[in-house]
Chain A
Amino acid sequence: MSDVSFVRTEMLPEKEPPASEVGILGWIRHNLFSSWLNAILTLAALYLIYYALSNILSWTFESVWNANSLSECREIMMATWGDTHGHACWGVIKDRWLQLLYGFYPPYPAHPDATWSNPPETGGWPAYFRPNLTFILLLVSIAPVLFTKAPRKLLFVTAAYPFLLPWLMWGGSIWGPLMVAAGFAIGYFVYKLALPAAGSLTALILAIVLPILWWLFASGPVAVAIDSVIPIGIEPVQSRDFGGFMLAILLGVVAIGVSLPIGIVLALGRQSDLMIVKYLCVGFIEFIRGVPLITLLFVASLLLNLFLPPGTNFDIILRVMIMMTLFSAAYMAEVIRGGLAALPRGQYEGADSLGLNYWQAQRLIIMPQALKISIPGIVSTFIGIFKDTTLVSIIGLFDVIGLTNGIRADTAWNGVYWELFAFIGVLFFVVCFSMSRYSMYLERKLQTGHR
Chain B
Amino acid sequence: MKKSVILGVATIAGLAAGAAAAGTADDVKARGKLNCGVASGVPGFASPDANGEWQGFDVAVCRAVAAAVLDDPTAVEFIPTTGKTRFTALASGEIDMLARNTTWTFSRDVDLKFEFVGINYYDGQGFMVPKALGVSSAKELDGATVCIQTGTTTELNLADFFRINNMSYEPVPIETNAEAQQQYLAGACDVYTTDASGLAATRATFENAGDHVILPEIISKEPLGPLVRHGDHEWGDVVRWTLNALIAAEELGVTSANIDEMSSGATDNPEVNRLLGTEGTLGEMLGLDANWAQRAIKVGGNYGEVFAKNIGEETPIGLARGLNAQWTDGGLLYAPPFR
Contact = CB atoms under 8 A, between A and B. Distances in A.
Interface stretch (A6-14, A267-275, A410-418, A440-448): A410-418
A87 to B, nearest CB: 12
Contact of A311 (B18, B39, B81): B18
Interface string A288-324: 0000000000100110011001111111001001100
Given A219-B11, A318-B13, A240 B89 contact: no
A105 B16 CA distance: 21
Nearest to A105: B52
Given A301-B85, A302-B92, A312-B17, A410 B43 contact: yes
Contacts of B19: 309, 311
B2 A162 contact: yes
A315 B18 CA distance: 13
Contacts of A180: 4, 7-8, 11
A116 interface: yes
Contacts of B18: 311, 313
B4 A311 contact: no
A318 B8 CA distance: 10
A405 B88 contact: no
A241 interface: yes
A175 to B, nearest CB: 11
B3 interface: yes
Given A257-B1, A398-B80, A409-B43, A99 B50 contact: yes
Contact of B92 (A99, A310, A393, A394): A310
A257 B6 CA distance: 12
A166 B10 CA distance: 11
Contacts of A315: 9, 13
B42 interface: yes
A396 B13 contact: no
- Residue in B1, B3, B39, B181 whose Cβ sees the most chain A Cβ within 10 Å: B1
B89 A220 contact: no
Interface stretch (B162-170, B199-207, B216-224, B331-339): B199-207
Interface string A384-421: 00000000011111100010111111110011010000
A315 B10 CA distance: 8
A98 B51 CA distance: 9
Given A302-B88, A305-B94, A258 B79 contact: no
Given A313-B16, A398-B40, A215 B207 contact: no
B91 interface: yes
A405 B11 contact: no
A: interface residue count bin: 35 or more
B12 interface: yes
Contacts of A215: 7-8, 11
Contacts of A238: 77
A21 to B, nearest CB: 50
A136 interface: no
B4 A406 contact: no
A123 to B, nearest CB: 18
A96 B40 contact: no
B74 interface: yes
A260 to B, nearest CB: 9
Interface residues of B, number: 65
A409 B89 CA distance: 22
A159 interface: yes
A337 interface: no
Given A170-B9, A302-B92, A310-B92, A415 B14 contact: no
B43 A394 contact: no
Nearest to B9: A318
Contacts of B41: 405-409
Interface in B177-206: 178, 181-182, 201-202, 204-206
Interface string A116-155: 1000000000000000000000000000000000000000
Contacts of A104: 48, 52
A163 interface: yes
Given A302-B92, A318-B10, A417-B182, A162 B4 contact: yes
Nearest to A410: B47
B8 A305 contact: no
B90 to A, nearest CB: 10
Contacts of A183: 4, 7
A52 interface: no
Given A162-B1, A414-B43, A313 B13 contact: yes
A103 to B, nearest CB: 8
A359 to B, nearest CB: 17
B40 A176 contact: no
Interface in A189-235: 215-216, 219-220
A392 B91 CA distance: 20
A184 interface: yes
Contact of A258 (B2, B178, B181): B2
Contacts of A219: 11
15 contacts: A84-B207, A180-B7, A180-B8, A183-B4, A216-B14, A220-B11, A240-B79, A258-B6, A305-B94, A306-B92, A309-B19, A395-B82, A410-B47, A414-B202, A415-B181
Please list the 8 inter-chain residue pairs (A to B) with the smallest Cβ-Cβ separation, ordered nearest first: A409-B41, A415-B205, A305-B92, A409-B47, A180-B8, A311-B20, A104-B52, A302-B88
Interface of A: 70-71, 74, 84, 95-96, 98-99, 103-104, 106, 112, 115-116, 158-159, 162-163, 165-166, 170, 172, 176-177, 180-181, 183-184, 215-216, 219-220, 238, 240-241, 254, 257-258, 261, 298, 301-302, 305-306, 309-315, 318, 321-322, 325, 393-398, 402, 404-411, 414-415, 417
Given A220-B11, A407-B47, A415-B206, 4 more contacts: A162-B5, A311-B27, A315-B13, A405-B176
